Amino acid sequence: MLEIKQKIRNILIKIGLISPRLSTLYYFLFSNRFDNVHYAILSGIHENRLNTNNIGNFRRSIHRIEKGLITTPSKPFFAEGYIKETIESYGAMIINPNDENLILWASNVLQDYFDKVEHTNIIKSAFNHFNLLGKYEINEKAKPYKAQNKICSISYDDYLDLNKYRRSIRYYTNKVVPRELIEKAVKAALYAPSACNRQPFSFFIIEGNKNIHGCDYTPDGAQSFSKNIHTMIYVIGDYSYYFHERDKNVIFVDGGLVVMNLVLALETLGVSSCICNWGDLKDKNNNLSKKLSLKPYQSCITTLSIGYALENSGIASSIKKTVDSVVKYHSELPIK
């Protein structure tokens, strides 16, 4: 019976491989593996369009204005299609500021924009509205600035050593990682690049071994050593930062970038870590959502355990690929 089912499934998979559309039909009819993903993305798009002052859209608009300001050659004016709604969102956000850095950044970029572009009727109207919203703190680093030809003070060899030294540690002492150190690491991590500077992620931190070991939201990859984990970080992506399905992968790209910054920063603070894969499992997702009170459009990107390495505990060698095996050039430049 199982053999017959497998044969039927293989036939259906071959039909699904005829085109992307038929592959979607296959999953619609015969598998619910992508239901959670579809639901989360659709919930995010709905939330994005429902909230006129969506923070993801606002951050994107400010970033678009910054890119316009650094365009060479410069344009006499731009952003007419979205400057009105951007100022309206800015006005709503300064009433109840949840992120002082966002307000600082937005206010400086907007003032720089109004100082440099030609005031068409649309831009003049937005400028008048902006002026009515009050004063702002001037900060030259909170708006576009000029690149400098300087060498980073951190050498390549030092950075390479840091990457080599940071290894996945799965066994920890009972010493608790101070929140101060976690937040210092997060501060550094937030400098990771992010598409349109949206930063569509949050860090949900669970402390205490009883809250981690054997729980129905503990990552499968951490089950074998969960007795030793006292702090687990869940990196949660937010699909409501996007208004279109085309951006469905961005939370994972941006999440991966910020996590790499995070584990390297933790290493400099003497804190070890292990990134634990979070599989797309319905029960796990539901249990985690209940534990963290997540919205339908919030999804776990990955998790990591952190702590102080238990002396003499094992570390997998995990030999990496060679440069030659991963670099493929397609170039019109002359070979040197």
245 touches 24 (CB < 8 A): no
Strand partners, 82: none
Q: Which CATH architecture has domain 156-307?
A: 3-Layer(aba) Sandwich (3.40)
Among residues 47, 57, 42, which one has the least CA distance to residue 198? 57
83-95 and 100-116 helices, crossing angle to 10°: 140
Per-residue confidence (pLDDT) for residue 141, from 0 to 100? 86
Residue with tokens 């307000």: 103
Strand partners, 304: 233, 275
User: Cα separations (Å) of 83 from 102, 164, 197?
Assistant: 17, 46, 18
3-state helix, strand, coil in the chain (%, to 5): 55, 10, 35
The pLDDT averaged over each successive group of 10 residues in the chain (336 residues) is 80 89 87 90 95 94 97 95 96 87 95 96 97 85 86 93 96 96 98 97 96 93 93 98 95 97 98 95 94 97 97 93 95 80
Per-residue confidence (pLDDT) for residue 97, from 0 to 100? 79
For CA atoms 217, 221, 227, 231, the dihedral sign is negative
Per-residue confidence (pLDDT) for residue 258, from 0 to 100? 98
Q: Where are the domains of the chain?
A: 50-142, 156-307
Per-residue confidence (pLDDT) for residue 6, from 0 to 100? 83
165-194: string of b/e by CB count within 10 Å (b at 16+)? ebbebbbbeeeebeeeebebbbeebbebeb
> Using CA atoms, how far apart are residues 11 and 9, in angstroms rounded to an integer?
5
Q: How far is CA 143 from the centre of its chain?
A: 22
Instruction: Identify residue 169 by its one-letter amino acid code.
Output: I
Rg of the chain taking only CA atoms, in angstroms: 24
